[in-house]
Amino acid sequence: MDLRLGGQVAVITGGASGIGLATAKLFAAEGVSVAIWDLDPGAEVIAREIQDLYGVRAIGLQVDVSQESSVSEALAKTLASFETIHHVVHSAAIGSNKFGFPFTNLSPEDWKRTLDVNILGMVRIATVLSPVLIRSRAGTCVFVGSVAGQIGSQTDPPYSASKAATINFAQCMAKDLAVHNVRVNTVCPGMVPTKLNRSIWQAWYDRVEIAQRLDYDVWAERKIKQLIPLGQWQTPEDIAAMIVFLSSPLAGQVTGQTINVDGGYVMHW
């Protein structure tokens, strides 16, 4: 399907793995040049692979979203390569690795790194990149949230709270930038078997009494069938498909929205 994105440029944070990488590949398949920003120094290698596979221009930059100077430097390098940016996808995020049940098991100190990366990192990306999107007069930004930001997941309260902030800030940003024809939306994955998901689910699994504990994979599959109406894990490609669609002219009247790609786990009316 031609989403009328060919010849444009997208920046994907967290683009070296998981949902970010799937998004970079799908943009490239639509003829979009991509800049992969990731803390992983392997981003440059991945960009070359995308460039060779899809025939678009691609660069990979090591970026730490917790450092404004790192984000600003990455922007300068990206503009030196592409001159402009049409789309931003912010996928970079971390869990706290300090699990709740209840939240009082965590100290306030346990929250700081997660909130700095997930909330202030998002704000740094938005602050640095918004002027470029405004100049394009037709830019888009998609934040990768989580259903955890809507249901108050007890497993990792700092992560859950940070993703609630993602949803709210995207709405603020959408209102501010609408006058410039820049659209901002949030896509919330459900259950995607990424490393981050495994770390969170492992904490849940570890609470099962040993006498009742199944093999992790068997347990996880049963949980998916219990929790998800469609009865399946979501894949990074499922999430990427919604992100790229929202970045396209076919979603030209969609802004400030929170779209769940979760197999029906969270339903709103």
Contacts of 98 (CB under 8 A, 6+ apart): 105, 106, 110, 156, 158
Nearest Cα neighbor of 245 from 23, 36, 20 is 23
Contacts of 162 (CB under 8 A, 6+ apart): 93, 114, 115, 118, 119, 149
Strand, coil or helix: what is 36? strand
In whole angstroms, what is the distance from residue 183 CA to residue 106 CA? 36
Handedness of CA 204, 209, 210, 215 (dihedral sign): negative
| φ, ψ of residue 74 in degrees (nearest 5) | -65, -40
DSSP label of 214: P
In whole angstroms, what is the distance from residue 40 CA to residue 6 CA? 27
268 Cα distance to chain centroid: 21
**Which of these is catalytic: 159, 205, 216, 265?**
159
Q: Are 185 and 174 in contact (CB under 8 A)?
A: yes
**Both tokens assigned to 84:** 């402009």
**Would residue 159 show up in a list of annotated catalytic residues for this protein?**
yes
| Enzyme catalytic residues | 159
